[in-house]
Chains A and B, each alone.
Chain A
Amino acid sequence: MVTMAATRRSVLRGAALSGLAVGSASLLAACGGDSGGGASGSGTTVKFGMNEAEGSGPAYDRLKAMAAAYTKETDTKVDMNAIDHNTFQENINTYLQGAPDDVFTWFAGFRMAQFAEAGLITDLSDQWPIDGMDDSFKQAATAGDDKQYFVPASYYPWALFYRKSVFEKNGWEAPTTEDDFMALMEDMQGKGITPIAFGDKDGWPAMGTFDILNMRLNGFDFHMSLMAGEEKWDGDEVKLVFDRWAKLLPFHQEDPLGRTWQEAATSMGKGESGMYLLGTFVIDAVGDAAEDLDFFTFPELDSSIGADALDAPIDGFCVAAAGKNQEAGKAMAKWLGSAAAADAANNGADAPMIAANTGASTSTYSDLQKKSVEVVSAASNIAQFMDRDTNADFASTVMIPSIQEFLKNPSDIDGITASIQEQAASIFG
């Protein structure tokens, strides 16, 4: 701040100096960077790009602890590049085509497979199998060419969250069937509580509702091929999803387009709403009520399909094809998927992550996380969430406005699905 206050006089004097080019050159040489370059002495240097800004919280602390543990264990110097989550994600294309780090944090699913296809990330199949990594995670790390390009590190499930004390006080129980679910919501409405908190100002939270309804009504396989652009968006299946959603909307908070997910979470935290379909990050927004939270998975809607699929986005690591130090990057990526890496991360931060590696210690986990592990292990199919399972442009430029349009005008399902299909055809070709 103070340093910014260069006076007009000094700026002008600077302009007046004929030697200004020299002056600014020395000024800049000072900030050319502190990297001494590539290999040095016993250990090499791996550049590690992370999608958490320095000091932003437990997620950053975990990555930092992993990097430190890796240096300790292998004598490899890790050069960290911390960028805030949203900027990193929005710039991923220029990042990978520019001067990327060797290893970087990324997501499983279509978003990873897209880069594999474009040749922007490195084939890691020679690093697999990884000890303690289940088949479902190996599946999630595999791109279209049956090779692995990703190392999973952690995940979190999407489910219906509620306050235990509110349920106890009203004598409610977590429903397991559709009938129980509907009865519960009607009872809530009768007691003046909005059954389901809902906010879609940011556009993405409602994707979770679409995902789970589609998986419950049409099954996991249909959901995944729909996401991959192989099914029709204006077919009966998708119309069925929107149709059911329209019937459930009266049980949701009204006017969701004017409400952020944080505000919706607050309403559940205060007991004004009964449940909220969201990821486990909901605890960040409910304050002291976090201790009181519990969850259940979305009940079965079609007995021939069951309720064994859910959204549980997996975070992990990729190696950039344009990274300078391929071998060291691959080795580090493999290590980052190990139980030792997960333990180092969870011991180094206030809040643990749910490790993808089954060998990782669960002693630091909260009750919610322990339950998450159970629920996800019990699920036979895991989706990554719409914006990770499908083309990123399709998710943000087509699905966000389309779902918002549906929430504004739930009766025009034919028009909305036709418009999605038209745009999907042009994106997926």
Chain B
Amino acid sequence: MSIETPVTVPLPADTTAAGPPKRAEGGVMSRPRGVVVTVIVALLALAWLFPLVWAVVNSFREYEYTQANGYLSFGGWTTANYEQAWTQGNFGLHLRNSLLITIPAVVLTLWLSSMVAFVLARFSYRFNLTLLGIFLAANLLPPQALLIPVFRMFREIPLPFFMSDSGSMLNSFWGLILVNTAFQMGFCTFVLSNYMKTLPHEIYESAELDGASVWRQYWQLTMPLVRPALAALATLQVTWVYNEFFWATVLIQQGDKLPVTSALNNLRGQFFTDTNLVAAGSVIVALPVLVVFFALQKQFVSGLTLGSTKG
């Protein structure tokens, strides 16, 4: 399941719910047009949802049954796939790994990028724009292009054995947390600095007059005010870092340290793959993201438009 899917699904659904606008006449969206739009959007939503629903439905069916009768049949219902996926995939351990990677990475990303953003937004240095440009440019680099340099660098960086039993950044959560932080900082800095620029300048002038230090202006003035932005970013970042697959697969070579997205592969055999079992595993892996998304939907949607008005 791609990262974007859960983000995109509710958009058409939202529009559907809004329905045709309540304009009496002559508007851009007259009643017949509204109906057409609703139908089109509903169809699109269905097209988006279909693969997901299909996977969920088949995750509740026996492989033997679907293999013998085809996927268009009806029957063979079971919940055994979920039990088997949970034990065979060892998801308890791998979800814990994901947690140990995601939480520190998100916290670190938000903390560091809020400090950079604060400086970029509140002080005018000659290189402010350049700096922001560099942060953004790094965002455009595909991680695949950096694979070999990062891999070699991490191999050469020694870590004491109590931090990593390989003695280097490879095979340790530290490496993954750092890589995720580095890759997410560009976006967070951009969004946060734009948001901070919208805070009225006068507040800072009065803070200055009251003798607040720069640290205090950051910590006690700016941070409380950007809470909505931080909340939106935190939800986005949790899903992104949690869904991250590439770096974990490359930098972790110890089976019991893989995060849950990579551990999904545990359900595939060398030759034989029980697709219904994999569907059940995918649902389990996707569930935390869906929970985060539905619980914090409001922040999510506001997060999508963050920084889009000023730059």
Please name all residues of chain A whose beta carbon is closer than 8 Å to the beta carbon of B238 when the two chains form the complex: 6, 11
In the complex, what's the smallest C-beta–C-beta distance from B174 to chain A, in angstroms?
A: 6
Whether A99 lies near B171 (C-beta < 8 A) is yes
B291 at interface, CB cutoff 8 A = yes
Check A12 against B272 for contact (C-beta < 8 Å).
no
Min CB–CB distance A226 → chain B (angstroms): 25
| Chain B residues with CB under 8 A of A24 | 103-104, 107-108, 177
Residue-wise, chain A 22-35 has the 8 Å CB interface mask toward B (1 for contact) of: 00100111011111
Q: A12-B230, A24-B107, A86-B265 are in contact. Are A1 and B171 (CB under 8 A)?
A: no
Of B19-27, B31-39, B156-164, B203-211, the one touching chain A: B156-164
- Are A54's CB and B266's CB within 8 A? yes
Q: A34 to B103, alpha carbons, bound, how many Å?
A: 22
- Asked if B231 is at the interface (CB within 8 A of a chain A CB), the reply is yes
CB distance from A1 to the nearest CB of B (A): 6
- Name the residue on B nearest A24 (C-beta): B104
Q: How far is the CA of A317 from the CA of B64 in the complex (A)?
A: 34
B44 CB within 8 Å of chain A: no
The segment from B8-16, B50-58, B93-101, B135-143 found at the interface with A is: B93-101
Chain B residues in 8 Å Cβ range of A191: none
Residues of chain B in range 279-311 having any CB-CB distance to chain A below 8 Å = 284, 287-288, 291-292, 295-296, 299
B133-170 to A contact mask, C-beta < 8 Å, 1/0: 00000000000000000010001000001111111101
> With A53-B265, A91-B253 given, is the CB distance from A1 to B106 under 8 Å?
no
Residues on B with C-beta less than 8 A from A31 are 97, 100, 173, 257
Chain B CB within 10 Å — which of A11, A51, A54, A82 has the most? A11
- Secondary structure at chain B's binding surface: helix, strand, loop or mixed? helix
* CB neighbours of A263 from chain B (8 A): 67
Contact with B along A269-297 (1 / 0, CB 8 A): 01000000001010011010000000000
Residues of A in contact (CB 8 Å), total 59
User: Cβ of A266 and Cβ of B266 under 8 Å apart?
Assistant: no
Of B104, B219, B235, B273, the residue contacting A8 (CB under 8 A) is B235
Contact of B170 among A11, A12, A87, A98 (CB under 8 A): A98
Query: Residue of B at shortest CB range from A3?
Result: B99
Whether A87 contacts B270 in the complex (CB less than 8 A), given A15-B230, A27-B104, A53-B255, comes out as no
Question: Interface residues of B, CB < 8 Å — how many?
Answer: 72
Q: Say yes or no for A118: interface residue by CB 8 A criterion.
A: no
Determine how close the nearest CB of chain B comes to the CB of A3; give it in whole angstroms.
6
Q: How far is the CA of A400 from the CA of B75 in the complex (A)?
A: 36
- Quick one: which of A45-79 are within 8 Å of B by CB? 49, 51-57, 59
- Contact in complex: B96, A85 (CB < 8 Å): no
Docked complex: B48-107 residues within 8 A CB-CB of A = 64, 67-68, 87-88, 90, 95-100, 102-104, 106-107
Q: Contacts of B110 on A, CB cut-off 8 Å?
A: 15
Q: Chain B residues with Cβ under 8 A from A5's Cβ? A: 288, 291-292, 295
Select which of B111, B164, B223 is within 8 A of A32 by beta carbon. Answer: B164
Q: Is A83 a contact of B104 with CB atoms below 8 Å?
A: no
- Give CA–CA (A82, B64) in the complex, Å: 28
User: Which residues between 71 and 112 of chain A lie within 8 Å of chain B, taking CB atoms?
Assistant: 81-87, 90-91, 94-95, 97-100
> Which of chain B's residues has its CB closest to A98's CB?
B170
Report the bound CA distance from A57 to B268 in whole Å. Answer: 11
**Which residues does chain B contribute within 8 Å of A90, judged by CB atoms?**
249
Docked-complex contact A8 and B67, CB < 8 angstroms: no
Q: B160 → chain A, closest Cβ, in Å? A: 9
Q: Does A4 contact B (CB under 8 A)?
A: yes
Contact A262 B168 (CB under 8 A): no
**Which A residues form the contact surface with B (CB < 8 A)?**
1, 3-8, 11-12, 14-16, 18, 20-21, 24, 27-29, 31-35, 37, 49, 51-57, 59, 81-87, 90-91, 94-95, 97-100, 261-263, 266, 270, 279, 281, 284-285, 287
Residues of B with Cβ closer than 8 Å to A?
A: 64, 67-68, 87-88, 90, 95-100, 102-104, 106-108, 110-111, 114, 151, 155, 161-168, 170-174, 177, 219, 223, 227, 230-231, 234-235, 238, 242, 249-250, 253-258, 262-263, 265-266, 268-273, 284, 287-288, 291-292, 295-296, 299
Given A15-B114, A94-B253, 12 other A-B residues pairs in contact with their CB atoms under 8 A: A4-B102, A8-B234, A8-B299, A32-B172, A33-B165, A53-B265, A55-B88, A81-B255, A84-B255, A84-B268, A85-B270, A262-B67
List, sorted by A's number, 26 A–B pairs whose CB atoms are closer than 8 Å.
A4-B291, A6-B238, A8-B299, A11-B107, A11-B234, A15-B111, A21-B108, A24-B107, A27-B103, A28-B104, A34-B165, A35-B161, A37-B161, A53-B90, A53-B263, A55-B90, A85-B268, A87-B258, A98-B171, A99-B168, A100-B253, A262-B272, A281-B271, A284-B272, A287-B64, A287-B67
